[in-house]
Structure 1
Amino acid sequence: MPQQLGLDLPGITALGRDDFLVAPSNALAVALLDAWPNWQGGKLLLSGPAGSGKTHLAHAWAARSGARIIQASAVAEDDIPALAEGPVAVEDVTDIAGDLARETALFHLHNLVLANGHSLMFTGDVVPAGWPLSLPDLKSRLQGATSAELAAPDDTLLSAVIAKLFADRQIMPPPNVIQYLVSRIDRSFDAARDTVARIDAESIARKKPVTRRLAADILDNTL
């Protein structure tokens, strides 16, 4: 079964739906993505920490729906009527909280996309109820919208993330390396990415393969 983890990886990162690893921490989000175009109200809100797969799922949906993907921070500079001619995914909506001009532009985009019969996906780093938006009209449009949270990874998903990060660097460590890292690092995708990058760099510097001992040396000196 193809597996992927929605991360910004140093090698080639597949962003297709079939490349996304489904685990309990993201199963609801994937199920809702697959339910398109039957989204209630024509929109879906995704939340989760950096590297949790929001961008991957946005790209997977865009490939299926023909949606354009934009950063919320750029929405005020974009051509809203042109954007609204098709489905749109707006990433990192929480980044514009308190910026009235950008929130207003996002409000108009939201209304026009839906008025044109298209779909919307918004992403943010916390659950939508915690998005600190200041424009009441925008907040009211998002209340009650279908949403899903990409949670912190469980052991299965974190193991797969680490294995994929190593594989994208053409490294195939022994299984005990991955088991050891899962038990030691913070339970986040950013921690997995940073740890694998440090291990890879140290392996190259020492001209030694990636082993549990090498991983332990690095973690003991950095944690």
Structure 2
Amino acid sequence: MSRQDSNSRQLILNFPARPEYTFDNFIVSKGTEFAWDTARQFASPEPAPYQTLFLAGNTGLGKTHLLMATGNLASETGSALYVHCEDFLHTVAAGEESAASALAPLENVDIFLMDDMDRIAGHPAAQEILYLIYNTLREKDKKIMFAGRTPPHLLPATESYLRSRFQWGMTAELKPIDDATTARLIPKLAQDVGLEIPDKITQFLLTRLPRDFPSIKDAIARINQESFARKQKVTLPLVKAALGLPDS
């Protein structure tokens, strides 16, 4: 694990945090519309018909974005805490005193957000503590939001009592990005870095890029770097060179 990866998963105790994550700048597709709408409603100060929301979907579809956006919006009227599951596991492994100290802010939080729930698999001690946290927050009528690649009922090596708690609330699945959304996402990401992508280049990229956010963002970054190095506008030969595609 790189230092950058580790730092990106620190406990975030004070929202707003990572202001680039909002509901307004999330590119909504047919496959993510329900999750976006559900998360936005969940972040509002109004009582939700459920206390728990679980976002499920493959890597790169926007789960962390929606978790952060929820925390940012919820912080306008209350308090929110985000924790990556890996950090939670490290806290539990560090011992009872460390865990109690790190989790103390939960006593006053209005919404608790935990990311990458697949990592909880095979960690019974952490599952037991999370179970207690879950019950405590529910008793206080607080909101709890999880995200993971696997839907809660299919989480492997996870105690049945915890999986059942995950399923008490709402599960919203994020599905792969469709072509129409990708066609909107490419020029938006380019615009974010001051790059202009012609429509014909967008159409070409649609036939070459995977349908996940990190892959699309990486491609735009490489094209931008190539454009800067050559001091040229974006052309098809430039794009092929940037992405290592055959010029044929």
Say whether residues 1:220 and 2:245 are aligned partners: yes
Report the residue type matching 1:220 in the other structure.
L
Residue 219 (structure 1) shift: 4.6
In structure 1, the residue corresponding to 2:27 is in which secondary structure?
Answer: coil
Query: Given the alignment of the two structures, is residue 16 of structure 1 paired with residue 22 of structure 2, yes or no?
Result: yes
Match of 1:45 among 33, 54, 59: 54
Question: 3-state DSSP class of the match of 2:207?
Answer: helix
Q: Is 1:69 matched with 2:82?
A: yes
User: What SS does the aligned partner of 1:45 have?
Assistant: strand
User: In the alignment, what sits opposite 2:173?
Assistant: 149
Is 2:198 aligned against 1:174? yes
Amino acid at match of 2:63: K
> For the residues of structure 2 that align with 1:192 and 1:177, how far apart are their CA atoms?
13
Residue deviations 1:77-135 (CA, integer Å, cap 9, x gap): 25334314221011111122112222222212211111111000000023223322422
2:200 match: secondary structure: helix
Identify the range of structure 1 (133-142 vs 116-125) with the bigger mean alpha-carbon deviation. 133-142
User: Could you say which residue in structure 2 is the equivalent of 1:100?
Assistant: 124
Distance 1:207 1:35 in 2: 45
- Letter aligned with residue 161 of structure 2: D
Alignment of 1:30 onto 2:43: no
Is 2:57–2:174's contact at 8 Å kept on the other side of the alignment? yes
**Which ranges of structure 2 fall in alignment gaps of 5 or more residues?**
1-7, 9-17, 92-98
Task: Let me know the Cα RMSD of the aligned residues.
Answer: 2.4
Output one character per residue of 1:26-65: Cα deviation in whole Å (capped at 9) or x when no partner. 1111221233244443010001222311122112211232
Q: TM-score, normalised by structure 2?
A: 0.76
Structure 2 counterpart of 1:23, one-letter code = S
- Stretches of structure 1 that go unaligned for 5 or more consecutive residues are 1-7
Give per-residue Cα distances to partners, 1:136-184, cap 9 Å, x unaligned. 2211212343111111101122122222221222101212111211122
State the aligned residue count. Answer: 212
Aligned-residue identity in percent: 28
Match of 1:4 in 2: none
